[in-house]
Structure 1
Amino acid sequence: MDKEQRQADFDYCEKIIKKHSKSFYYAFSQLPSEKAHAVYAIYAFCRTADECADGNHSSKKKVQQLRQLKKELDLFNDHEELDKPLWRALRHVFNTYEMDIGPFYDQLTGQSMDLTFTTPNTMKELERYSYFVAGSVGLMLLPVIASESSVDLQASAISLGVAMQLTNILRDIGEDYHDKNRIYLPSAELRHFHYSEKDLHNGIINEHFISLWEKLASRAESLYSKFLLNIELFDPDSRVPVYLSAHVYKGILDAVRSNGYQCLTKRNYVTKEKMTQINAAVKSAFDLREGDALTVEK
């Protein structure tokens, strides 16, 4: 493949992440271009899978689309991929990094779970689902952002993905319920905190809702912390962007809190100004770390 075609393929993938995830794009666009391109291609695959399951189509059409994507992934796995920008870009990624096809299939399993969605009963069930739709993404990215590491960082990568998915769920409670007829909040937790579907339908935000929301947020924040404990084990050129992605995404939780937990009728997000502040704080923190490391070495 010529260089011009490859650039066009990655430009195609970049447009997808730029359109659908400003926070991801803001963080990962700061990677060296080769790695940024790899992230864009991986994101484009995940977005394609997500749109199969969540697009404005009939259930039958969604099943057909997801089956077609699996067939295309099978072809890719057999080195007989379709001549399309996504697959050409992913082939370059697989040729450049020690990629594992397993998490890509796990992603499709996660999207299939949405097609036959039932409210999870427990946190364990919710986190299992979160692994398939988001922890799998962490594993896809791992060979790119930890290409030099000799340590097994799979658990850390999964922690970041699950934390981000829990954050998405906490941000989108109202949207998921009203637009998709889905309640991702575990039924056992709804009962425990005395918050009903009727309360959700009526848009009630009370102390019961806040306690329930904060329990899930606390779990997400503990997973972010677990991931960040190992940040020094990732590639030096990837640490700041990856650290930034975790903090920007974690910032969504604070945005919901700042808006009085209004996530039933309002879309919460980290503003561009706030992203810039987080970026400056993260880079400052890393400058201090590197300074301390130099002092210790002397």
Structure 2
Amino acid sequence: MTAQMQVQEDFEYCEGVIRRHSKSFYYAFSKLPEEKAQAVYAIYAFCRTADDSVDETSGNAAQLRELERVNAELGRFARGEYIDHPLWRALRVVFNTYDMDLEPFYDQIKGQRMDLSFEAPQTLEDVETYSYYVAGSVGRMLLPIIASQSKVDCTDAAVNLGVAMQVTNILRDVGEDFREKGRIYLPTEELERVGYRKDQLAHSEINEGFIQVWELMAKRAEALYDEFITCISNFDADSQIPIVVSAQVYREILTSVRQNNYDCFKQRNFVTKQEMIRILTDSAK
């Protein structure tokens, strides 16, 4: 196999990861120029590997070992060592092509550690701190690819988008997170303020107090989406439409939950393919 064929296979492996795990991200980022799209796929595959080391391993000790394995491989990668795996080979091409920063990759792993030693967030600020490590860090990873020509620092905008998406995930997955992981990512102080109890959440109760807390977080996410959009002209011209589409598709999840009367317990809230096409069409105008 030639070196070029190997590179192509490695990026196809990464593309397969994003296609399997996130139809909305794949739909948006596949509209990038091929080289940039492949770079995004490789970064997504890294984040998925870090996330899966926690989610697909049983037992806290085994999860920690698996996460430390990924961290050790990242350390080897940082030292320029060769790692015989399509993810790391593809990432090496990305790092050789773009002015990449390793810090957000380590921040992503820190976010997975926070999940392993989960503590319910007390405040909305705690939610946003956690959201930075697991998702805002991804915005920073992507920045050298989607804002490579920018004359201004787009870091805050990229982080805002990642945090907004993670808060959206939390609001979409309230029931699933509690059922499958026993976790409540809604801020404790806000739940106590409205008198919404854990047993009510366990019974999937949707009342005025729950909606107040949900909307508090949703409005914060929407404010972050808005802040991101105001900076979109600073991103590379060939990247603006795909990242606006990814932001708008994710934002629409909040609309979906509202249309389903805030049922994020028993209903899977998502954006349809038809809606994604409409968002793409509108964004391209």
TM-score, normalisation: structure 1: 0.94
Select between 252-261 and 71-80 the one with higher mean Cα deviation. Answer: 252-261
Listed one character per residue, the Cα deviations across residues 228-286 of structure 1 (whole Å, up to 9, x for unaligned) are 100000000000001111000101101111111110112111011111111111111xx
How far is 1:56 from its partner?
4.2
Q: Is the CA contact (8 Å cut-off) linking 1:247 and 1:278 kept in structure 2?
A: yes
Q: Is the CA contact (8 Å cut-off) linking 1:121 and 1:188 kept in structure 2?
A: yes
In 1, Cα distance between the equivalents of 2:103 and 2:82?
17
Unaligned runs of 5+ in 1: 285-298
| C-alpha RMSD over aligned residues | 0.8
State yes or no: 1:24 paired with 2:25: yes
Q: Which residue of structure 1 lines up, in the alignment, with residue 262 of structure 2? A: 261
State yes or no: 1:234 paired with 2:265: no
Q: Which residue of structure 1 lines up, in the alignment, with residue 116 of structure 2? A: 115
Q: Which residue of structure 2 lines up, in the alignment, with residue 279 of structure 1? A: 280
Q: Which residue of structure 2 lines up, in the alignment, with residue 95 of structure 1? A: 96
How far is 1:219 from its partner?
0.2
In 2, Cα distance between the equivalents of 1:51 and 1:265?
24
How far is 1:81 from its partner?
3.3
Q: How does 1:5-16 map to 2 (within 5 A)?
A: 5-16=6-17
In 2, Cα distance between the equivalents of 1:107 and 1:266?
29
Q: Which residue of structure 2 lines up, in the alignment, with residue 79 of structure 1? A: 80
Q: Which residue of structure 2 lines up, in the alignment, with residue 3 of structure 1? A: 4
The total of aligned residue pairs comes to 284
State yes or no: 1:106 paired with 2:107: yes
Q: Is the CA contact (8 Å cut-off) linking 1:72 and 1:81 kept in structure 2?
A: no
Unaligned runs of 5+ in 2: none
Q: How does 1:35-74 map to 2 (within 5 A)?
A: 35-74=36-75
Q: Is the CA contact (8 Å cut-off) linking 1:49 and 1:108 kept in structure 2?
A: yes
In 2, Cα distance between the equivalents of 1:106 and 1:56?
21
State yes or no: 1:152 paired with 2:178: no
Task: Describe the SS at the equivalent of 1:17.
Answer: helix
Q: Which residue of structure 2 lines up, in the alignment, with residue 288 of structure 1? A: none
TM-score, normalisation: structure 2: 0.98
State yes or no: 1:206 paired with 2:207: yes
In 2, Cα distance between the equivalents of 1:191 and 1:283?
44
